[in-house]
Structure 1
């Protein structure tokens, strides 16, 4: 299912906002899964004749996967995903970040026996250059199925463009108050780049396959969005990834949406369904809050692992082919957050990438 904002989408970052002079309503760079889950459940519940907040607990069981970014090209919609954080551009080349092989007589202060992550050589000391915030799925798939691909060139763009509007506060008479200017920042999903009109949307996959259609508000200020069925389907598990799992008994787990784990950035017990986490590349935490409609008060503020974070895992050697395949199917395009409600809300959507299981060895170190 696709949700195409008609107006610049405002998804607030939680900071207080009033129409007082100089106030600014800032939008997140991309909506959180719970925003889309809440909008989907509200609209579906109203269509089915449910009442809120009385039936709020019932609709929580309607799970989603996503949102991911989608772009229309030639009449077809293609997926874009957040850039993986194990990719680093130095100069004109993109290098992979991988676990380092720690010498026997050395150690580090990372918790729970995790090993550090780094580049293939200590001589790589250039200042990192920027990478596209969102990668096209076909390009991203190449990064997943090859461990440290040579000559890899990321293809994508920065996603929705920020659009700022300046407003004026009105007095009771309907005239403007002197000096009472304030701003709102939204995400423009349709923008002109040179001679090209880029048309973007949010891709969402309800777990029970119930799509919605029509015009309905989304985000702050009840700005409108067009909801319609169709769009890209969930990509299947590539055979190349499964073959890599069977060969190396190791993999990369890449988050496509922010995820929640009880031990901050690490899964409970360092495990994804029995696979051991040996290293991780994570970004700055995403602060998540909101309002609990069922309980009638604000939700506690929490910190989520950002999208694009990568976990390097090893599978037990005793696993047979069936167990390895079952692990891959439990991870690929599934929500991996540890709490069931977080999974229902779309947090922790993940894919697998190939990893040899070997750490980079720095010569002379």
Structure 2
């Protein structure tokens, strides 16, 4: 299903916002999964005649996958995903970051069993350039299917644009209060391309398949959004990815939404359903909090692995084709967070890519 904000969407970043003059309400660059999951569950519950907070625990069992970004195109809605963090631009070329073999006698402060990740040559020392924050699915899939892409140029854009509005506080008589200006920042779900505007929306996939339609609030200030059926389906597992896993007994796992793991940025025991993580490219943690409707109090702050993070895995050699396919199906477009409620909230949606399984050797580059 699709959620298209009618007004700029406010999803605050958690910094204090008071009624003091000059206050600014800042927005995240993209809504967290729990924000959209909470709005979906609340709307489902109200439509089914439930009352809150009494029914809060009941609706928490409604799982989702997403949200991801979607854009209206000539042939329908197109899917976009966050930029994978194993891609870096140097000059005019995009290079892949890959695991590096630590030479004898050298060491690092990574957890035991993990190796560093870097560029294929130490001569690549230019300042990294910018890449689109969101990639069209076709570009992203091309990146997943190539271990060492050549002449790769991702197609995408920066996503929803920030819109800042300046407001003034009113006195009890309805007049402007002297010096009481404040600002709110929201996300405009539209972008201008070649003189025309293209609509953007949030793509969401309820696990029970029940979509919603109508105009309902989403985010701060109860701003309205259009909720509708349709939109891009979840992409199926490419056979080329499965063939790469069988050939190399290795894989890349890319998070499309932030994820929670018991080992901070790693799953407990570094294991993904029997495959072992040997390296990772992880961005800055995303601090997540919120309000617990059932307990009527704020949730404790936690740190999530950001979307776009990449894990390099090795698969057991003893696995046959059936075990490899089962592993791929447990990862592809599934929520990988370790706690059941986090998975239901949409955290840890993942895709699979190919990797040769062979790290770069420092002494040869």
- For the superposition of Structure 1 and Structure 2, which TM-score range results when normalised by the shorter chain? over 0.9
Match of 2:66 in 1: 66
Task: Say yes or no: does 1:114 pair with 2:114.
Answer: yes
SS of the residue corresponding to residue 251 of structure 2 reads: strand
**Aligned match of 1:208:** 208
Partner of 1:153: 153
Distance 1:78 1:341, change over 3 A: same
CA positional deviation for 1:364 = 5.2
Q: How does 1:315-330 map to 2 (within 5 A)?
A: 315-330=315-330
Question: TM (normalized to structure 1)?
Answer: 0.99
The residue number in structure 2 matching 1:36 is: 36
Q: What CA distance in whole angstroms lies between the structure 2 residues aligned with 1:91 and 1:335?
A: 35
Question: In the alignment, does 2:326 pair up with 1:313?
Answer: no
Supply the distance in 1 between the matched residues of 2:298 and 2:23 (Cα, whole angstroms).
22
1:289-319 deviation digits (Å, cap 9, x = unpaired): 0000011111000000000000000001111
Find out whether 1:13 has 2:24 as its counterpart.
Answer: no
Q: How does 1:80-95 map to 2 (within 5 A)?
A: 80-95=80-95
Structure 1 residue 80, shift from structure 2 partner: 0.2
**In structure 1, what is the equivalent of residue 249 of structure 2?**
249
Unaligned runs of at least 5 residues, structure 1: none
Counterpart in 2 of 1:339? 339
1:287 corresponds to which residue?
287
- Relative distance call for 1:180 and 1:135 in structure 2 (3 A) is same
SS of the aligned residue for 2:72 comes to strand
Residue 105 (structure 1) shift:
3.3
Query: In the aligned structure 2, how far is the partner of 1:301 from the partner of 1:184?
Result: 23
Query: CA 1:289 to 1:195, structure 2 compared with 1: closer, same or farther past 3 Å?
Result: same
How many Å apart are 1:19 and its aligned residue?
2.8
SS of 1:139's equivalent in the other structure is helix
Q: How far apart are the structure 1 equivalents of 2:97 and 2:67?
A: 26
1:24-80 residue CA offsets vs partner (Å, 9 max, x unmatched):
000000000000000000001000000100010000000000000000001500100
Determine the structure 2 residue equivalent to 1:301: 301
**CA distance in 1 between partners of 2:345 and 2:286 (Å):** 15
Q: Distance in 2 between matches of 1:68 and 1:123?
A: 36
Match of 1:223 in 2: 223
CA RMSD of superposed structures (Å): 0.9
* Alpha-carbon offset, residue 84 of structure 1: 0.1
Cα distance in 2 for partners of 1:19, 1:169 equals 8
| 5+ residue gaps, structure 2 | none
- The aligned counterpart of 2:165 is 165
1:139 paired to 2:139: yes
Inter-partner Cα distance in structure 1 for 2:116 and 2:26: 35
Q: State the distance in 1 between where 2:335 and 2:58 align.
A: 20
Runs of at least 4 residues off by over 4 Å: none
Matches within 5 A, 1:166-205: 166-205=166-205
Report SS of the residue matched to 1:113: coil
1:323-359 CA deviation, whole Å, 9 max, x = no partner? 0000000000000000000000000000000000000
State the TM-score, normalizing by the size of structure 2.
Answer: 0.99
- How big is the shift at 1:101? 1.4
2-structure distance, mates of 1:144, 1:364? 26
- May I ask how many residue pairs the two structures share in their alignment? 365
Aligned to 1:266: 266
3-state secondary structure, aligned to 1:111: coil
Q: Secondary structure at the match of 1:225?
A: strand
Deviation at 1:227, TM superposition (A): 0.2
* C-alpha distance in structure 2 between counterparts of 1:111 and 1:204, whole Å: 35
